[in-house]
Amino acid sequence: MNLTADLLLTNAIILTLDEKLNLYDPGALAVKGDSIVALGPENEIKAKVTARETLDCKGKALMPGLINAHTHVPMTLLRGLADDLRLDVWLLGYMMPVEREFVSPEFVRLGTKIACAELIRSGVTTFNDMYYFEEDVAKATVEAGLRAVCGQTVLKFPAPDADSYDESLARAREFIQTWKNHALIIPAVAPHAPYTCTEEILHACAELAVEFDVPLHIHLAETALEVENSRKEHGIPVIPYIREHKIFDAKVIAAHCVHVDNGEMRTMKRYNAGIAHNPSSNLKLSSGIAPVIKMLEMGLNVGIGTDGPSSNNDLDMFEEIRLASFLAKGTSGDPTVVSAPLALTMGTRLGAHALHLNQLTGSLEVGKRADLILVDLSQLHSSPHFRHDRNSTYAQLVFAAKSTDVSDVMVNGSWVMQNHQLLTLDEEALLAEAAEYARKIDTFLIKREKSVLSKLVAIGGAVQEESFEVQAKIRLTEPAPVQAAIENGDLEILYARHYREYDTYFRFDDPEQGYLRHREDESIAPDGSVSNARYRLTLIGPVREREYPSDVILSRSRFIAPASHSLRFYREYFKPDQEILIEKDRLRWRIIFHDTTFYVNLDTVKKPELGHFLEVKSRTWSRLDAEHKSALVAELITHLSGKVDETVLEDYVRIVEKDVT
């Protein structure tokens, strides 16, 4: 029987990475159109195939293209922007604010093309992406000639391509409708992570993926903190939580899964969820090490991914595959686990399974798409070549070969690189454009990092609200007489409260930055129990002492917001030059004096032990108002002092915030 083909690759060491790990040396493989039509021992294939063109692959391994199971390709433009940071500071403090400012369809297309060049050079033929403007990722990928699962991000925050989640969901739907059935692109929906989505978003994304039968790409159980928060907020860990919200109705591709237990792994197995193991990213961000050996034993489809180029920081799958093997060996104390053939299978066929693309790609088999690479094994670092053990070629590829040994890459039957020359992309032009973006982002960040206020605004949810406060503070020798004067006097009291406050002041060497105060407020019930805790963040502008009577001070609060991140997050993000802790017990009254509302606080500052203070203050919206109120504040103090023994009231002192200057 004679078979016609467009191309016959001969004289290669063929690693099929199929179920049986068939290996042909020398082997031949025939391509027709976009598919593999024959492969096997060279003499057999040569005897039955007539090809228009033949290529001698002497000294090279011919294997399926690698599958990068999780990445964010446009982030090549953000590579090296912020490193050595914790995941939340890195993501919420740097990546997301810069993305909101710069990410556009143009940005995404450029970043994708640069990534495609790097991916092709390291032997990747398919990648699984998650980003914004995913239709532009798709367009650029098609131009580069690669295959990709493109996941349109949906999350609860405003994103560069959508002001609301409804908008991003509509965008995802349109993207999927437009790109479904494309030869190279598999559109997908990508709810970013359980903690960046709402339950409603998770449900909607699952429904969308099911409706169009496309994959659903999500970050899961990446950090211990995520799991801890899930337990706190929902009473269950991440995997049961997303199961409750129907995510497993869809074809799931789960990135990371670092912190999952055996039960959760069984759940993922039951629902045929694919897993993307990202060893470099998990190590770099100290997220931990995924229980990959256990996952593989359970029969889960574990692929390997680089994650985005700003958490890795490259897209080199050779490095990633080697690391996956070494990490499993090193952490288990067993050098036989995640062997070279298994590691390479994870980087190819298992990756395709994880992406739900195993019908199309991931191994060299007749009927599958011609997604293949040639790797030069004649280099110094991969020599010599032993043949007594079949596994030695896998070991050469996994433990010794480098991505730069990839000489030729074919996707869907078309060459995208031959003899190390990229055929679809102009690297030089791309790099010049990337340098221009880097310059703009640098300018933006240099400016932002100079100002505490702009850093605060950048982390989102920030409503900049400028208000002034007229404030007087008086040291007391003892608080009881003053309390009696307030409670039993002639003031109109609107309400009384009791708090315990834990304040952390971030101080900066530049006094113009003001102070940033993180406050934890505990409401104390009459029986002494804590009834409620609140966290707030306030940027207090530089204190202004103008010609107000006595030491009445005008301070300026420029921004106030609920503190939704941990104190540790703010510390690492703002990098204060000094930190001051103040703990106080506060009795607070809201009163009316001369038709004006005031707060009167009676504080016992416990840490540091500063004693007792009377504080009278009122918010104002204008300078004129401030002048009027400062006069009233002075009058109110005189009014109160008339009711207590003079020795109780010491001199006006500066506000506690000022005590620390």
- Residue ranges binding Zn ion (CB under 5 A): 307
For the bound state, the minimum distance from the C-beta of residue 465 to Zn ion, rounded and expressed in Å, comes to 34
For the bound state, the minimum distance from the C-beta of residue 403 to Zn ion, rounded and expressed in Å, comes to 20
Token representation of residue 375: 């790797």
For the bound state, the minimum distance from the C-beta of residue 153 to Zn ion, rounded and expressed in Å, comes to 10
Is the four-CA dihedral 474, 478, 483, 489 of positive or negative sign?
A: negative
- CA distances 153 to 159, 552, 624, Å, are 9, 52, 49
Of 285 and 537, nearer to Zn ion (C-beta) is: 285
Residue 201 three-state SS:
helix
Q: Pick left, alpha or beta for residue 235 (phi over 0 → left; psi -120 to 50 → alpha; otherwise beta).
A: left
| Residues 129, 109: Cα–Cα separation, whole Å | 13
454 C-beta neighbours (distance < 10 Å), count: 15
Tell me, rounded to whole angstroms, the distance of Cα 438 from its chain centroid: 20
For the bound state, the minimum distance from the C-beta of residue 91 to Zn ion, rounded and expressed in Å, comes to 9
For the bound state, the minimum distance from the C-beta of residue 100 to Zn ion, rounded and expressed in Å, comes to 18
Q: Which amino acid is at 393?
A: T
| Residues 472, 600: Cα–Cα separation, whole Å | 10
Please name the residues in contact with 114: beta carbons below 8 A apart, sequence gap of 6 or more: 76, 77, 430, 431, 434
Of 118 and 307, nearer to Zn ion (C-beta) is: 307
For the bound state, the minimum distance from the C-beta of residue 259 to Zn ion, rounded and expressed in Å, comes to 15
Token representation of residue 352: 């395709």
For the bound state, the minimum distance from the C-beta of residue 308 to Zn ion, rounded and expressed in Å, comes to 6
Of 309 and 576, nearer to Zn ion (C-beta) is: 309
| Residues 573, 571: Cα–Cα separation, whole Å | 6
Q: Which residue is nearest to Zn ion (CB)?
A: 307
Of 255 and 411, nearer to Zn ion (C-beta) is: 255
Token representation of residue 376: 């030069």
For the bound state, the minimum distance from the C-beta of residue 72 to Zn ion, rounded and expressed in Å, comes to 6
Of 307 and 657, nearer to Zn ion (C-beta) is: 307
Token representation of residue 186: 């598999």
Of 90 and 548, nearer to Zn ion (C-beta) is: 90
458 C-beta neighbours (distance < 10 Å), count: 22
Of 277 and 629, nearer to Zn ion (C-beta) is: 277
For the bound state, the minimum distance from the C-beta of residue 226 to Zn ion, rounded and expressed in Å, comes to 13
Of 306 and 620, nearer to Zn ion (C-beta) is: 306
| Residues 565, 562: Cα–Cα separation, whole Å | 9
Tell me, rounded to whole angstroms, the distance of Cα 203 from its chain centroid: 21
Helices (H), 69-216: 87-88, 96-102, 105-121, 134-144, 165-179, 199-212
277 contacts 325 by C-beta, under 8 angstroms: no
Is the four-CA dihedral 273, 278, 281, 283 of positive or negative sign?
A: positive
| Residues 573, 451: Cα–Cα separation, whole Å | 12
HSE-up (13 A, CA, CB side) for residue 338:
31
Closest CA to 219 of 109, 146, 131: 131
| Residues 477, 650: Cα–Cα separation, whole Å | 7
Of 7 and 327, nearer to Zn ion (C-beta) is: 327
Of 295 and 453, nearer to Zn ion (C-beta) is: 295
| Residues 426, 433: Cα–Cα separation, whole Å | 11
Of 37 and 193, nearer to Zn ion (C-beta) is: 193
259 contacts 221 by C-beta, under 8 angstroms: yes
Of 109 and 256, nearer to Zn ion (C-beta) is: 256
Q: Which amino acid is at 9?
A: L
Tell me the pairing of strands 147-154 and 124-131: parallel
For the bound state, the minimum distance from the C-beta of residue 128 to Zn ion, rounded and expressed in Å, comes to 10
Please name the residues in contact with 125: beta carbons below 8 A apart, sequence gap of 6 or more: 64, 65, 66, 67, 146, 147, 361, 371, 372, 373, 409, 410, 411
- CA distances 183 to 142, 370, 630, Å, are 9, 12, 72
For the bound state, the minimum distance from the C-beta of residue 282 to Zn ion, rounded and expressed in Å, comes to 10
For the bound state, the minimum distance from the C-beta of residue 193 to Zn ion, rounded and expressed in Å, comes to 9
| Residues 116, 217: Cα–Cα separation, whole Å | 20
Of 93 and 341, nearer to Zn ion (C-beta) is: 93
510 C-beta neighbours (distance < 10 Å), count: 12
Of 15 and 218, nearer to Zn ion (C-beta) is: 218
For the bound state, the minimum distance from the C-beta of residue 444 to Zn ion, rounded and expressed in Å, comes to 23
For the bound state, the minimum distance from the C-beta of residue 219 to Zn ion, rounded and expressed in Å, comes to 5
Of 307 and 408, nearer to Zn ion (C-beta) is: 307
Q: Which residue has the tokens 């003001």?
A: 514
For the bound state, the minimum distance from the C-beta of residue 320 to Zn ion, rounded and expressed in Å, comes to 13
Radius of gyration of the chain (CA): 32
